Each structure stands twice: as C-alpha cells, then as structure tokens.
C-alpha cells in the first residue's frame, strides 16, 4: 500500500513538472496579445517603423555610450544632429526644389507642346528613312510607317501615363494624410532608443535559457546587416543625387536640382529607379526644345555617372554585395516587388541576406565547398 502511495506521489510530481503546465498560460497570453494587435493593426505602422529605426541606430548609440556618455545624452545628440540636418535642408534646398516643381507644374502645357513637336520631327525623319528602304523593310515584315505605329500606341501610352500620374497623386494624398506620423515616429523612436537594450533583453528572456545567447547574437547579426545596408545606401543616395544635380546643372538642364533629388531617391530602388531617372531626363531634355541630340547627350552623361556609382562608389560605401549570389539577388528583388511593391524591392536584399544568415547558421553545409570527385584518388606519379 505504501509502495502504491509512493508511486502515485511520484506521478503527481512528474505531472507538475510537465512543460505544458508552464507553457499554457504563456500561450494564452501570447494569443490574446496577438489578437489585440491584429485588431489595432491600422495604427501599428508608425510604431513598427520607429522600432525598426531604433534597431538600426542602436549600434551608433551604443558606441557613443561606451565612451562614457550617458545613453540619454547620446540619443539626444543624435536627435539634435538629425533636426539640424532637416533644418539646413529645409533652408538651403527645399525652397529651390519647391520653386522648380511649381514652375514645372505651371508650364506643363508648354512642355507637352515641345515634346509633341520633337516627336513629330523625329517621326517625319523616321518616315523618310522608311520610304527610302520600304522594299527591304516590307520584305522583313515591317509594313507600317513609324508614324502609324506611333499613332497606334498613343492611346495605350497615354492611358498608362495617366494611370501612373493618378497613382502618384494618390500616394501624395496618402502621405499628406499621415502627417500625424511625423510626430508619432520621432517620439516613439526616442523612447525606443532609450530602452532598446531592455526591450531586447526582455524579448530574449522569453526563450529557453540555453538558446538566449545564440538567438541574441543572431538578432544582432541580422540588425547589423540591415543597419549597414540602410546606412550605406542612404549615404550613396545622397551622393548620387548631389552628383546628378551638379551634372545636370553643368549641362544646363532645366530643373537640375529637382531631377538630382529625384535621382537620389530613385537610386534606392534597384534597376527600376535608375530607369525612371533616365526617362525623366529624356522628357525634361525634350521639353527644352533642343532636339534629340541634346537629350541623348544628357542620357549618356547620366548613364556614365550611374555606372561609375554602381561599380565604384556603391561597393565601397555599402560594402559591396551582402553575400548574395547575383541570381539570388535578382530573384529576391523580383519576389520583393511582387509581394510588397516598391518597399519590398528596396528591402529585398537585406531581408534575403538575413534569411541566408539564418539558414547558414542552422545548415552550415549549405556553404561548404563541394568535395572534388578526385579528392580520394591518388595522383599517378610522373614517369
């Protein structure tokens, strides 16, 4: 009887140590928290942006704090520098850029007429060339004059341009509607930066004790990948935009400052951004009524600058690639733009690099060099 009582008490003690008894309250709490966050998901975006920025800026704050500066003072210093940069940009750059945009908007009709005249001149030359080589081109299957092709495509192109302009207008309206974010994001970022080490420690404390250091190290590596990429890309975009504005000014291209700022912003979007900048340069050059030769010269100069940045400046500032194979890089960009649009394309590279970091951590054999088929064979001795 005593043995049965002892066995029963042992079973009850073992049941008390079952993991599910400890995990059930945590799982319920997590489910309730996720449900509440889902219900208020419409207001989470600015806080998530602030948390993301805090993760990127935390290494900078930490380096300043290691020199004996209190963390609060370090955060305040970074905010003061950011405010100073914004004020300087607003005083030195914004008025000229706004004036150029206003002038561009007020002369749209005139510029459209200039583009139409340039297009008509080019079309007449193409028609003349077509008439000279009609027999050859007809034998190759080209039966319509260039002017006929242009007239056929005018409707679809006009509809596409109109849809793009409508999308831009809707995006601007949406941005104006989020003016409150300009207050929420900086304020939230300030407090996130102050308490970021505490927040990270509390998140890692939810993990098993044996995995906390490993996961914390992996999180730091991922944040460093994002931080290095975003900080480097921001520097390159500023340099790219400034260089483009100077080149456009040397070429006497109208709205050089506006085009330079747009080129710097567009450079953050791989492949698509530079193409948009090039199209903008062509359109502005044609509006000046100086002909196709001037537009081609501006495009050639812009392409030369772009190639110099892609193969010279960007690898040095951003640190080259983030360890991705070129095919994986392109695939990640296509996945990003398909799933999340422009933002997905901008963040596709660091996200893919972070996923690669995690996969290599758990599956190191993925990056192990392949064994040679002849590694186990002895080389025959020379005769």
The pLDDT score that the predictor gives to residue 118 is 67
* Average pLDDT of the chain to the nearest whole number: 75
> Is pLDDT at 15 greater than 70 in this prediction?
no
Q: What's the DSSP call for residue 377?
A: S
Q: How far apart are CA 343 and CA 269, in angstroms?
A: 8
pTM: 0.64
| Joined tokens for residue 43 | 């207001």
pLDDT, tens digit (0-9, with 9 covering 90-100), for 272-281: 778 888 888 8
Q: In the structure, what pLDDT confidence band is assigned to residue 310 with cuts at 50, 70 and 90? A: confident
Do residues 347 and 337 make contact, with C-beta atoms less than 8 angstroms apart?
no
CA gyration radius for the chain? 30
* Residue listed under structure tokens 């704090």: 65
pLDDT, tens digit (0-9, with 9 covering 90-100), for 57-103: 888 888 888 888 888 888 888 888 888 888 887 787 777 777 777 77
Q: What's the DSSP call for residue 180?
A: T
The pLDDT score that the predictor gives to residue 107 is 67
Residue 231, Cβ neighbours under 10 Å: how many?
16
Do residues 193 and 58 make contact, with C-beta atoms less than 8 angstroms apart?
yes
* Gap between the terminal Cα atoms of the chain: 87
The pLDDT score that the predictor gives to residue 326 is 66
Buried b (16+ CB within 10 A) or exposed e, 32-47: eeeeeeeeeeeeeebe
The pLDDT score that the predictor gives to residue 18 is 46
State the average pLDDT over residues 262-284.
81
| Joined tokens for residue 216 | 């914390």
Residue 219 Cα distances to 108, 156, 247, 323, angstroms: 50, 48, 42, 17
Q: How far apart are CA 284 and CA 104, in angstroms?
A: 10
pLDDT, tens digit (0-9, with 9 covering 90-100), for 354-378: 787 777 777 777 666 666 544 444 4
The pLDDT score that the predictor gives to residue 246 is 92
Closest CA to 324 of 230, 252, 217, 229: 229
| Joined tokens for residue 150 | 């242009």
The pLDDT score that the predictor gives to residue 372 is 52
State the average pLDDT over residues 306-331.
72
pLDDT, tens digit (0-9, with 9 covering 90-100), for 138-186: 777 777 777 776 666 555 655 655 555 555 556 555 665 567 777 888 8
């Amino acid at each position: 009887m005593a043995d049965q009582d002892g066995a029963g008490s042992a079973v009850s003690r073992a049941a008390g140590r079952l993991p599910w008894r400890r995990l059930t309250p945590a799982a319920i709490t997590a489910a309730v928290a996720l449900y509440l966050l889902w219900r208020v998901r419409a207001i989470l975006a600015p806080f998530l942006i602030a948390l993301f920025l805090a993760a990127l800026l935390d290494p900078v704050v930490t380096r300043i704090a290691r020199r004996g500066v209190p963390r609060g003072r370090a955060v305040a210093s970074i905010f003061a520098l950011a405010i100073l940069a914004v004020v300087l940009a607003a005083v030195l750059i914004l008025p000229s850029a706004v004036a150029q945009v206003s002038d561009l908007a007020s002369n749209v009709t005139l510029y459209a007429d200039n583009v139409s005249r340039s297009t008509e001149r080019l079309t007449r030359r193409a028609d003349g060339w077509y008439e000279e080589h009609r027999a050859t081109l007809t034998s190759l299957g080209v039966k319509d004059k260039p002017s006929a092709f242009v007239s056929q495509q005018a409707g679809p192109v006009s509809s596409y341009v109109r849809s793009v302009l409508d999308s831009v207008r809707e995006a601007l309206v949406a941005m104006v509607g989020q003016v409150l974010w300009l207050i929420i994001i900086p304020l939230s970022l300030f407090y996130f930066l102050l308490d970021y080490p505490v927040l990270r420690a509390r998140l890692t404390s939810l993990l098993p004790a044996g995995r906390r250091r490993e996961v914390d190290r992996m999180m730091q590596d991922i944040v460093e990948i994002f931080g290095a990429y975003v900080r480097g890309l921001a520097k390159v975009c500023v340099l790219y935009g400034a260089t483009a504005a100077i080149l456009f000014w040397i070429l006497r291209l109208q709205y050089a400052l506006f085009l330079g700022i747009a080129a710097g912003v567009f450079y953050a979007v791989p492949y698509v951004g530079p193409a948009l900048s090039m199209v903008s340069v062509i359109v502005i050059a044609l509006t000046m009524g100086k002909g196709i030769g001037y537009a081609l010269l501006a495009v050639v100069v812009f392409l030369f600058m772009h190639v110099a940045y892609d193969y010279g400046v960007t690898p040095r500032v951003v640190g080259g690639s983030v360890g991705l194979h070129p095919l994986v890089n392109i695939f990640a960009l296509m996945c990003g733009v398909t799933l999340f649009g422009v933002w997905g394309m901008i963040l596709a590279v660091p996200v893919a690099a972070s996923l690669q970091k995690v996969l290599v951590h758990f599956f190191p054999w993925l990056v192990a060099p392949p064994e040679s088929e002849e590694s186990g064979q002895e080389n025959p001795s020379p005769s």
